[in-house]
Amino acid sequence: MPSTTTRADAPIAILGAGVAGAAAAARLQEAGLPVLVLDKGRGPGGRCSTRRGADAGRPSFDHGAQYFTARGPRLQELVARWSASGGVQPWTGPYLRKSGEVLEEELPSTTRWVGVPGMNQVPRLLLGGAPTRYGARVTRLLPGGRLELQEGAEVLGPFRLVLLTLPPSQALELVRASEVLAPLARAAEMVPCITWMVQLEQGPARPFSGLRAPAEPVSWIARDSSKPGRGGGEAWVLQLSPEASAEVLEDGEEAWRRLCEPALAAALGAPPRIVHSAFHRWRFAQRAEGTDLGPAPEPLDLEHGWGLAGDWLRGGRLEAAFDSGTALAERVVAALS
C-alpha cells in the first residue's frame, strides 16, 4: 500500500476536476490531508461544464448538467453558504412536460439550483483553494504512487493515494491491474448524449425555463438565458435522449440538427431564427439504466493505493457525483487515520 511506502505528508492525487473530484478534494482538505487535483481540461467542470461564447455579445451555455438539487444535509449546508454569497441561485420555472401533443406544467418536488454565472461555478466553489493543475492528461499509473503524464512526457509523484473520478472506460485503462476496481469499471455501461447550443434572435411566444419530453428524440430543452446571472442574449440548450444519441452518435452535425431543429421550432411555436449554434458530443453522459454495480459504490483498493468515484457509481445526478466523491474521501480518511 503506497501509504506505507510513501511519506505521510505526500499529497493525494485526484484525477478529474468535476464535482466528484472537487467534493473529494474538499473533504480531504477538511481532514487536513494535502491534495493535488489534475484535469486534462482547461478548467473545472467535467460534465458540469459551461461553454462561453466566442464573442463578447454571445451568451454562455451549460451544455452538461443543467441544474442540481440538494437533498443531503452536507450539500444543503454548502448550498446555503453559496447562495448567501451569490455563487448559486434557484432556477425558477415555469417548467413544462410534453406527452404526445399535450404540454402541461411540471412542478419540481425540490428547488433546482444553478451555478452563477455558469454551472462550472459549482466545482469551482468546491475546490476553493485546492492545488489544481489543468492540461494534465494522466496516461499511466506507475509503481510507488507516481503518475505518467502525456504518454511519458512527465512523471509526477510520489502520491500517497490516487483517486480517479473519470468515466469508467477511461478509469479502466488506468486500473486494469486492480482486481477490486477493474471489474467495477468494466461493468458500468455508459450512454451518450448529443447537446445542441443555440443563440436565437428572439424568445418564445410562451416563455418557459425548461421543457422535458421523455418519449421524444429531443428529451430536454432549456432556455439557459432564463437562469439567474446570465446575459448576452437568447441561449438555448437541447439534449437528445440516450437512445437517439446512440443511434446518431457518429453521424455528425447535419444529422443531429435534423433531429433538434424541428423540436426547437415546436417549443418556440415558430421556426427558430438562429444567430449561432454549436454541438457537443458526450460519449459517456450517464450510466445506462439497469446496470448493477453491486453493494460497494465507492471502492478503495488499498493494495494499489487507488480509488474510484463518480456519479456513475450512484446515479446520473450532480448530487450523486458529490455524494460519491465525499464518500470515497471519507473512506480514505478512515483508512489513513
pLDDT band at 27 (very low <50, low <70, confident <90, very high): very high
Separation of alpha carbons 299 and 303, rounded Å? 12
Q: What percent of the chain has pLDDT over 70?
A: 95
Residues, the chain? 337
pLDDT in tens, 29-41: 999 999 999 999 9
Q: 186, 167 in Cβ contact below 8 A?
A: no
In the chain, what are the domain boundaries? Answer: 2-336
Residue 151 has pLDDT above 90, yes or no: no
pLDDT in tens, 201-244: 988 888 899 999 999 999 999 999 999 999 778 999 999 999 99
DSSP at 61 = B
DSSP at 295 = S
Q: What is the pLDDT of residue 293?
A: 73
Upstream peptide bond of 94 is cis (omega within 30 degrees of 0): yes
Looking at 204-252, list the stretches that DSSP marks H as alpha helix, in order from N- to C-terminal side.
242-248
Q: What is the pLDDT of residue 8?
A: 79
Please name every residue paired with 96 in a beta bridge, in sequence order, or none if there are none: 105, 211
pTM, whole model, 2 decimals?
Answer: 0.94
Only one residue has cell 432549456, namely 222
Q: What is the pLDDT of residue 297?
A: 59
Determine the average pLDDT of the residues in 58-72: 93
Q: 331, 298 in Cβ contact below 8 A?
A: yes
Q: 37, 134 in Cβ contact below 8 A?
A: no
pLDDT band at 191 (very low <50, low <70, confident <90, very high): very high
pLDDT in tens, 75-85: 999 999 999 99
Amino acid residing at 170:
Q
Distances in Å between the Cα of 34 and the Cα atoms of 105, 189, 266 are: 47, 33, 52
pLDDT in tens, 278-329: 999 999 999 888 777 766 557 999 999 999 999 999 877 899 999 999 999 9
| HEC secondary structure over 82-110 | HHHHCCEEECCCCEEEEECCEEEEECCCC
Q: How many CA atoms within 13 Å lie on the side-chain side of 250?
A: 0
Determine the average pLDDT of the residues in 153-160: 96
Amino acid residing at 256:
W
Q: Name the 3-class secondary structure at 10.
A: coil
Separation of alpha carbons 122 and 317, rounded Å? 13
| Phi, psi values for residue 83, rounded to 5° | -65, -40
Upstream peptide bond of 117 is cis (omega within 30 degrees of 0): yes
Topology classification of domain 2-336: FAD/NAD(P)-binding domain (3.50.50)
DSSP at 121 = H
Amino acid residing at 198:
V
Separation of alpha carbons 198 and 272, rounded Å? 9
Edge to edge, the sheet with strand 102-106 lists: 102-106, 95-99, 210-212, 218-223, 234-240, 190-200, 274-287
Q: What percent of the chain has pLDDT over 90?
A: 80
Distances in Å between the Cα of 50 and the Cα atoms of 60, 91, 224 are: 7, 16, 11
Residue closest to 317 by CA, chosen among 122, 183, 162: 122
Residue 4 has pLDDT above 60, yes or no: no
Upstream peptide bond of 158 is cis (omega within 30 degrees of 0): yes
